[in-house]
Amino acid sequence: MPDVIATHRLTKYYGRQCVVDSVDLRVPQGAVYGLLGRNGAGKSTIIKMLLGLVQPNFGRAELLGEDVARLRPEHRARIAYLAEGHPLYRWMTVAEAVRFYRSFHRTFNDELLEQILDHFGLSRRAKIRRLSNGQRAQVSLALAVAPDPELLILDDPTLGLDTVVRRDFLESLVQIIQRRGRTILFSSHVLGDVERVADRIGILVDGVLRVDCPTDHFKQLLRKVVLEFDAPPPAFPACAGLVHNRQMGNKLELVIVGFGDEHRKAAESLKPKSTEVMELNLEDAFIAYTRGPNRSLPIFMGDESDDQ
């Protein structure tokens, strides 16, 4: 499938600090792509450069096959953006917000918008300022989807929402957008949400894109290995794929990429009392991966069939 989003060595400095470092990002058509990273990793800066709100110091970005710097109005009309916090004019009613938003678009699917508002049980007469955070997020989603965009970009869309509203929001988002073959890029701090809906992820570490692969592929390659000893453990030998290790009493906890025979033999050479190899969910895998020394992190790019 063609790439709906493609960046080429995208780089951004603020003063002397490089906040996005030579990022080559690919988001294929129809994907739900989760852009992850710790605070300050560069997620929001990348999104703003994709939208043309921030200019890169170097490199370029393409949306729907067009250079962002020269994106024509008819191409912009195929892209929707949900900003963090879902800013809306709070003095408006829901109906007034709909009329205001519709005035900026040549095409507007009123039937789809009404279906979304009905799905969430939102009154057209309700004042925006009297809605909860979750309800404002739902109104924002309805407005963003009504022009029937091919690409939807969201910057931490579930921030501040409770668990039930957050799950309903994301599941509705995927049902509404992806059933039409559309593409979603979203950043999030809630890894459980990402694991539930994203089929592909990118992980930024200090502005560098270290991971760009299917979500399951990333989880399958990382393993936590716990070695237990009768006394304080010896040091684990340096080897390929070792993300980090730490001592916890008489236990040695390792996080290893591509755990295999080499790692198993290295562990057995230390003669532990017991060895436990554990799979990780996305949140634990993300924490384990980003906790290690940055310059030694293995890089994940491509699909399961690609060499890493």
Band (pLDDT 50/70/90 cuts) for residue 252 is very high
Q: Considering only the top CATH level, what class is 3-206? A: alpha beta
Query: How high is the pLDDT of residue 307?
Result: 41
- Lowest-confidence segment of 19-28, 162-171, 223-232 by average pLDDT: 162-171
pLDDT in tens, 1-13: 688 999 999 999 9
pLDDT above 60: residue 304 = no
The CATH 3.30.70 domain(s) of the chain lie at: 218-301
Query: How high is the pLDDT of residue 180?
Result: 65
Query: How high is the pLDDT of residue 306?
Result: 47
Query: How high is the pLDDT of residue 25?
Result: 93
pLDDT above 70: residue 36 = yes
pTM given for the model: 0.85
Q: How far apart are CA 74 and CA 240, in angstroms?
A: 49
Query: How high is the pLDDT of residue 46?
Result: 95
- Lowest-confidence segment of 33-47, 238-252, 279-293 by average pLDDT: 279-293
Query: How high is the pLDDT of residue 293?
Result: 59
264 token code pair: 């198993």
Question: Percentage of residues in the chain with pLDDT exceeding 90?
Answer: 40
Residue 295 C-alpha from the chain's centroid: 22
Q: How far apart are CA 246 and CA 226, in angstroms?
A: 10
Query: How high is the pLDDT of residue 275?
Result: 94
pLDDT above 50: residue 20 = yes
The CATH 3.40.50.300 domain(s) of the chain lie at: 3-206
Note the CATH architecture for domain 218-301: 2-Layer Sandwich (3.30)
pLDDT in tens, 84-108: 777 888 999 999 999 999 988 888 8
